[in-house]
Amino acid sequence: MKPIKNWKLLGVEGNRVDVQCDDRHVLHFFVLESNVIRVLLKKNATLQLESSWCVSPNDSETGWEGRDRMSTEGFTCPEFNVSEQGDQLSIASDALRVTLSKPLKLTWEYADATGEWHYLAADRQSGAYMLGVQSNDIHHYMARDLSEKYYGLGEKAGDLNRHGSRYQMRNIDAMGYDAKNTDPLYKHIPFYITKTEQASFGIFYDNLSTSWFDLGNELDNYHGYYRSYHADEGDLDFYFMYGEKVLDVTKTYVNLTGRTIFGPKWSLGYSGSTMLYTDAENAQEQLGDFIKHCDNHNMPCDSFQLSSGYTSIGNKRYVFNWNTSKVPNPLKLSEDFHKAGLKLAANIKPCLLQDHPRFDEVASQNLFIQDSEFDAPESSQFWDDSGSHLDFTNPKTIQWWKTNVTEQLLEKGIDSTWNDNNEYEVWDSNARCVGFGKQTPIKLIRPLQPLLMMRASFEAQTEFAPSLRPYLISRSGCPGMQRYVQTWSGDNRTNWQTLRYNTRMGVGMNLSGLYNMGHDVGGFSGDRPDPELFVRWVQNGVMHPRFTIHSWNDDKTVNEPWMYPEVTPIIREAMALRYRLMPYLYNLLWQAHKHHEPMLRATFLDHEGDARTYEECDDFLLGQDLLVASVVEQGQRTRPVYLPDNGEGWYDFHRKTWYAGGQDIRLPAALEEIPLLARAGSVIPTSSRIAHVDAEKDTQRQFLVFPFKGAGQRNVSVFDDDGLSNGYLDGKYLMLNMTLTSDLERIDLAVSSEGEWQPAYSEVSFVLPSNELRPFYVNGKRVQASQTVALNELA
């Protein structure tokens, strides 16, 4: 490696400042937003990869071939100043300033409300930027303060604060991983947030090659405290984004990489799944029995995910092949599920085994990634055999995939695609991809392949059913995957430690822009969960955006809601609570899509002034208003909880007891109870429908009002629509805008509505804590307990 030392200003063009380094490299600074400055280094004045697929600012979706790396489309590109004094060059918007000094070092500052500049971050003093001489590796070193907290990096094991740890970005099929220690995992999210004592900032490295983040694990006496980013290949291209709060940084990042997909409401319901059903010789019969069991046990369910056994020949799996001995009639299978109100998602994989019936057909069209040395498809280990991976940088592959998704799945009644095993473990690093006409080695774009795979599946679904909002799932991916799919944390291992650390992993994924996510409830691999662990896992799972019980237990048992009769009523009640909260969950999905609001939230995200919320814990917020205190320890029957200091207090959701914030309390945690608190000043929409989502049958809407104990005011908006179509884009929705106000004498709720959609419920009711004695008024009219109010009175 050699450090970059010298630089000189070349000029300013539009929103770009160009700097030459060491007489041969070019450093570009793009002022994209008042709080976002991009730094792009061209080694020897050239780029290894001329396109980006991860960046999609302000919904500026790019073509399949990606976005020109020099483009600023979609950004506001505000005015900025450039000043050079001696050995320093400063580039400043009205909120963010970067200063170059020699040897090459960047110092970042932010402006407060008065316009005064404050230190935010800096590169380390020595060797901040290093480039490989005989290799293409790149290194970026920044100074590290011991008081800083680091969050993000997507799907990572361990504690939420990453300070002191080292992580690798390399998509890998980590089945049975240790949720506290295993690294790497399935996703490639090279973005993290630094929380300083004064402000926050994020850095997103737009590079898809294998990389490492060292956030204080390494020490070197010559450089002081530092942290580093190292990539094997690709370009040093990073976006520096300032935010007053951590939440501001997360939302800026999501606006940069793409809006969360607004899926159908049924995607938030319980989704059944297991490897065992579709691996069985009588798979269609067992799948039909699942429908019967849901009905017999009165378990609400919205969908089922077909594991890949439905594609098998022998004990191997072959994408787009239906095993008609296991599933004699796919159309009948879909029809049976649809009659029960359930949707089907089918597992698909981007690799064809070498003996796939259609392997030669695909190879003859050159749809596979090609070997680096020979004129043949690359060959990689895949599912106990070898196979070749489809190349989604080839337009012909995209069309082949879309055709097969349509003909083999959608036309057979399948509602959704489950894009799985798409880590692209092609370790012939120079294997050749078409690259949309610019041949590219896989080592530069490995995580791009799953992103393009899910986009191809997305387009197949939207073209087949253009009036419906698509729902897709993907295990692997990279920044931008939230534009297409819901995701989960992969094939976890069954134990109490996984339950605890999956929760932290999920919160970290939300801080990294992956909002619509969950885990395999009950654990995927290893021993089956015992009754207590299973109950606690379900109680945790129902409080996540994605709720799926999925398993491949070592003893060939299946994790099902009714697997332990002695706790089945407890499981049923936990799932019923989720369905009662479905309007709240759906509103969170809308807020994630429309306003980039995380669905799972670290407790500090809304309480940054409370130092206690930064301590590692097992609590999280579901939206801004529900504090979930999951039980993650065996035998625990009371749960200590720290209540974030919100200035308003919290209510025990079940008992309606009010507690002041900023204190430790202990909640009852009987096996049948989910310790749950509601924020004072919240209005929680609920439904009485404990069955699969159906807007036409959702005939009642109730709002749980948790008033301020004294004076207070808060605005709340609740979105609803048919849950299926794109009609909301044309005004076919219902938005209830509420202002909750209270003092010592009375409680007022001012409600207005917008939108043209007419729900099945024509009235709403409001419920206050039973010990609340103050009179309650809706739009100035006194409302008694259990009294309903007509929707047309809220217009």
Residue in the block written with tokens 């879909």 = 334
Structural domain boundaries enclosing 28: 2-153+190-257
pLDDT at 750: 97
Please indicate whether residue 133 or residue 338 has the higher confidence score (pLDDT): 338
Does residue 93 fall inside a structural domain? yes
Query: What was the pLDDT predicted at 93?
Result: 98
Domain boundary among 257, 276, 310: 257
643 within domain boundaries: yes
Answer yes or no: do 651 and 740 share one domain.
Answer: no
Q: Are residues 32 and 118 in the same domain?
A: yes
Distances (CA, A) of 127 to 43, 84, 224: 16, 22, 12
Residues 14 and 144 in one domain: yes
- Please report the pLDDT score of residue 59 as a whole number: 82
- Tell whether the model's pLDDT for residue 534 goes beyond 80: yes
Question: Which tokens in the block code for residue 12?
Answer: 């300013």
Among 160, 194, 195, 193, which residue's Cα sits nearest to residue 179?
160
509 lies in some domain: no
Task: Give me the residues paired with residue 750 across strands.
Answer: 739
Angle at 628 between CA 627 and CA 633, to 5 degrees: 145
Q: List strands edge to edge, sheet with 788-790.
A: 682-687, 701-706, 763-767, 788-790
pLDDT digits (tens, 9 = 90+) for 779-790: 999 999 778 999
| pLDDT attached to residue 84 | 96
The pLDDT score that the predictor gives to residue 718 is 98
User: Can the peptide bond before residue 184 be classed as cis, meaning omega within 30 degrees of 0?
Assistant: yes
Q: What is the mean pLDDT of residues 539-544?
A: 98
Residue 785 confidence (pLDDT): 78
Q: What is the pLDDT of residue 134?
A: 87
Whether the pLDDT of residue 32 is over 90: the answer is yes
Question: Based on the number of CB atoms within 10 Å of its own CB, is 774 exposed (0-12), middle (13-18) or buried (19 or more)?
Answer: middle
* pLDDT of 300 strictly over 90: yes
CATH value at residue 61: 2.60.40.1760
Same domain, 82 and 214: yes
Token reading at 183:
């690294």
pLDDT at 795 over 80: no
Q: What is the pLDDT of residues 49-78, one digit of tens each?
A: 999 999 999 887 789 999 999 999 999 999
Q: What is the pLDDT of residues 426-448, one digit of tens each?
A: 989 999 999 999 999 999 999 99
Predicted local confidence at residue 6, as pLDDT: 95
State how far Cα 784 lies from the chain centre.
Answer: 41
The pLDDT assigned to 564 comes to 98
Final residue of a domain: which of 257, 272, 291?
Answer: 257
Q: 576 lies in a domain?
A: no
List pLDDT tens digits, range 377-392. 999 999 889 999 999 9
Same domain, 693 and 647: no
Give domain status of residue 276, yes or no: no
In terms of DSSP bridges, do strands 432-433 and 734-742 run parallel, antiparallel, or are they unpaired? unpaired
Percent of the chain at pLDDT above 90?
A: 98
Residue 62's pLDDT is 83
The last residue of one of the domains, among 257, 278, 305, is 257
DSSP one-letter string for 328-339: S-HHHHHHHHHH
pLDDT of residue 786: 77
In Å, how far are 154, 485, 668 from 476, measured between CA atoms?
Answer: 11, 10, 38
Q: How many domains is the chain built from? A: 3
Judgement on whether residues 778 and 713 belong to the same structural domain of the protein:
yes
107 pLDDT more than 90: yes
Examine the domain organization and report whether 669 and 694 are in the same domain: no
Q: How confident is the model at residue 794 (pLDDT cuts 50, 70, 90)?
A: confident
Give the pLDDT score at 58: 85
Q: CA–CA distance from 39 to each of 8, 68, 97, 194, 481 (Å)?
A: 15, 15, 13, 18, 23
- Inter-axis angle of helices 330-339 and 283-296, nearest 10: 0
Q: Is residue 623 part of a domain?
A: yes
Helix 496-511 vs helix 531-541: crossing angle, to nearest 10: 10
Shared-domain flag, residues 80 and 211: yes
- Is the pTM higher than 0.95? yes
pLDDT at 579 over 80: yes
The closest alpha carbon to 346, from 298, 405, 301, 387, belongs to 405
Average pLDDT of the chain, as a whole number: 97
d(CA 318, CA 354): 10
Domain-located, residue 608 = yes
Other beta carbons within 10 angstroms of residue 73's beta carbon come to 13
Which amino acid is it at 95?
Answer: A
pLDDT at 217 > cutoff 90: yes
Instruction: Clarify whether residues 671 and 690 are in a common domain.
Output: no
CATH of the domain at 633: 2.60.40.1180
Quote the pLDDT of residue 1: 87
> pLDDT for 722-771, tens place per residue?
999 999 999 999 999 999 999 999 999 999 999 999 999 999 999 999 99
Assess contact for 514 and 482: CB atoms under 8 A. yes
Q: Kindly report, residue by residue over 33-46, the tens digit of the pLDDT.
A: 999 999 999 999 99
Is 607 among the domain residues?
A: yes
- Residue 383: per-residue pLDDT: 87
Q: What's the rounded mean pLDDT across residues 590-612?
A: 98
Q: Are residues 690 and 605 part of one domain?
A: no
Q: 782: exposed, middle or buried (C-beta count within 10 Å: 0-12, 13-18, 19+)?
A: exposed
Could you read off the pLDDT of 615-646 as tens digits, one per residue? 999 999 999 999 999 999 999 999 999 999 99
240 and 205 housed in the same domain? yes
All residues at 6 or more sequence positions from 511 whose CB lies less than 8 Å from its CB, including other chains: 151, 152, 160, 193, 246, 250, 598, 602, 605
Q: What are the tens digits of pLDDT across the range 543-578?
A: 999 999 999 999 999 999 999 999 999 999 999 999
Domain check: are 228 and 89 in the same one?
yes
Q: Distance (Å, rounded) from C-alpha 294 to C-alpha 303? A: 11
Tell me if 176 sits within 8 A of 527, measured CB to CB.
Answer: no
